[in-house]
Structure 1
């Protein structure tokens, strides 16, 4: 069944606090949170809950064993997927987001892997950065900024 709810997707997240913060954003914006294993922490880790505060119990959490498992079970429409990478061809300002968008972010240290990028090269998006001194943003900050931008055009 194709997913019809918008979501933030974290592929192999490494830092519990980032995942907790993204979960809090998901609650605030009424988005699903999709996590793809393996994680660099235990999902029951109190750091996830600390960053998510008492909102974590309200997160609509969906967990997947792999990228392929996510594609099969969640089945997001290809045109609803937006994969964020620092070298994406399009700015997140110049994208027509669909109401069922899936904003996909990779590991904090490595980004998205070949498996996730393969066949989705036309879906790569970046957050523009004006300073040459910054390569990337914190995962939670990037996911939050992207979520607000994606919702901007469909609310």
Structure 2
């Protein structure tokens, strides 16, 4: 089982998806892409954003929310939704091995039924005047905090 996974719910901006696939490659966190996407997944913009890291990223495409939930359930994974409406701050949340952090669509987040399915809803604290962070930035912040807590950062040795 992966220590941590990142799920993208129906992403609609290819540059953000590419950035998160690059994050996957660099930090060793697998990504679940829940379709339909708002773009063609192999679109040139994803390759440009992910650069040459795309080939190193580990990701799974799920044809629907239901297909993703079936995989999540069979793997015994906990779904943690990153949302501006989260009840718990990301830096106070007790991440556990096997968690899947999910981010919603850039344009609309996730539907209520998806939010209700999450076992936890977390948020990143921001100034009151701010609405939200870019989804790729928010996912990177939460993923890094979870890896820090789980002592799951990759080995930094370089050759």
With structure 1 as the length reference, what TM-score do the two structures score? 0.91
CA drift of 1:50 comes to 0.6
Q: Are residue 82 (structure 1) and residue 80 (structure 2) matched?
A: yes
CA drift of 1:91 comes to 0.3
For 1:38-117, list aligned pairs within 5 A.
38-75=36-73, 76-77=75-76, 80-117=78-115
Please list the CA deviations of residues 29-74 of structure 1 after superposition, one character each: whole Å capped at 9, or x if unmatched. 1010100011011111010011101000111110111111101124
> Structure 1: which 4+ aligned runs deviate by more than 6 Å?
none
* Structure 2 equivalent of residue 123 of structure 1: 120
What is the CA–CA distance in structure 2 between the aligned matches of 1:23 and 1:29, rounded to whole Å? 10
CA 1:119 to 1:10, structure 2 compared with 1: closer, same or farther past 3 Å? closer
What is the CA–CA distance in structure 2 between the aligned matches of 1:136 and 1:57, rounded to whole Å? 30
For the 8 Å contact 1:67–1:115, the answer to whether it is kept is no
What is the CA–CA distance in structure 2 between the aligned matches of 1:139 and 1:93, rounded to whole Å? 17
Q: Are residue 35 (structure 1) and residue 33 (structure 2) matched?
A: yes
Cα RMSD of the aligned pairs, angstroms, is 1.3
Where do 5+ consecutive residues of structure 2 fail to align?
A: 152-159
CA 1:19 to 1:119, structure 2 compared with 1: closer, same or farther past 3 Å? closer
3-state SS of the aligned residue for 2:150?
coil
What is the CA–CA distance in structure 1 between the aligned matches of 2:76 and 2:130, rounded to whole Å? 32
* Structure 1 equivalent of residue 7 of structure 2: 9
With structure 2 as the length reference, what TM-score do the two structures score? 0.89
* Structure 1 equivalent of residue 137 of structure 2: 141
Please list the CA deviations of residues 82-124 of structure 1 after superposition, one character each: whole Å capped at 9, or x if unmatched. 101101100001111112121101100111112211243x511
Q: Are residue 153 (structure 1) and residue 149 (structure 2) matched?
A: yes
